[in-house]
Amino acid sequence: MSFGFDVTHTDGRARRGRMRTAHGDVETPAFMPVGTQGAVKGVTHRDLESLGAEILLSNTYHLYLRPGDDLIARRGGLHRFIGWTKPILTDSGGYQVFSLAARRTIDEQGAHFRSHLDGSAHLLTPEKATDIQAQLGSDIAMVLDECLAHPSGEDGARRAMERTLRWATRARDRFLALGGGRVPGVAVTNAGQAQFGIVQGSVFPGLREESARQTVQIGFEAYAIGGLSVGEPADVMYDMVSRATPCLPEDRPRYLMGTGTPGDLVESVARGIDLFDCVLPTRNARNGQLFTSEGRINIKNARYAEDDRPPDPACGCYTCSTCSRAYLRHLYMAGELNASTLNTLHNLNFYLDTLRRIRDAIVFRRFESFRLSFHQSLSRQPHES
């Protein structure tokens, strides 16, 4: 096993650490740009490396349907297929199946769904999700879980949480069998792959704590908190994170799935989270919304038509060093592809730089002052819709 984790500094519940994987180390807390189909929309791997990205997230569901995990395995695994030499985390496909709603049903066996591409029928089981990720060869593979929409009743949340635990046991058994070479027909393209368990329980503190304790008992290389950022208020999300993290091992990374705004990242680090992913920086960039040190701006607003300032005067990224707001607005309004690229470069830089500053603040035991100044800076200017 090539996977490991060391906490190097703490400041309150905030942690700085180093996660070791088969394809290199990741300094934590870390943000993972989302490369759904093996690519982060609008930018190249060279761009990501120049921004300091150390790990990408790719999507098991989408890669399974197209081009297929068998094809990727024959190409030597996902790293070789996409030309990315650093770590990769793959989700299990559970969230995508959850989002299909009208196209899927869930039972004890797994998730039955129809492809959004051609309507073909598929069954994603805990074992199948584990097999797919073994063939992809990611450095971190997620177990299949059942994610509920918000709001959900406590009885339904308990059923989903308990099913997730049963699926986690099956996924772990399959993962260990794959590592022992006991599953014919599945190509393990990364012998150093690690598997993360997922804590569920919706917005119910007792369920979150129970799920965390029982997931730890199954035994994984590390642990994630799932089922949040699905419509619940931010303070509720923070409370669920606060309830779950004390139940997770201190010597393993903690991953908050699918979250969130820059403020969410800061608040979650304060509660002991080490890893993040979110589509906001890339999706919002394509829609003309930029994250800045003084709040969000919508570059298509007419007020920027003759604004010669950079998007964020405090930012040193390529976009802010070379482009004015007026130019970015022109590109967006003209439908130029470069608009998405330049906006994405800035937003990803803002997220990755925020995590760099968080890591430095933890080392110097200044995280709480960083946290306060960060929120004060964002509150100076109203966010633009």
277 is catalytic: yes
User: Phi/psi at 304 (nearest 5 deg)?
Assistant: -95, 5
Strands 140-142 and 88-90: parallel
CA distances to 48, 71, 220 from 347, rounded to whole Å, are: 12, 33, 33
- Where does residue 231 fall: left (phi above 0), alpha (psi -120 to 50 degrees), or beta otherwise? left
Choose, from 11, 69, 91, 312, the residue flagged as catalytic.
91
Distance of CA 170 to the CA centre of its chain: 23
Q: Which is the catalytic residue, given 47, 274, 277, 353?
A: 277
Distances in Å between the alpha carbon of 134 and those of 11, 37, 76, 100, 175?
36, 17, 11, 24, 8
d(CA 100, CA 80): 30
C-alpha span between 146 and 163 (Å, rounded): 7
What is the Cα gyration radius of the chain? 21
Q: What tokens were used for 152?
A: 């959900």
Beta-carbon contacts of 50 under 8 Å, excluding residues fewer than 6 positions away, are: 318
Q: Is 25 a catalytic residue?
A: no
Q: Which residues are catalytic?
A: 91, 277
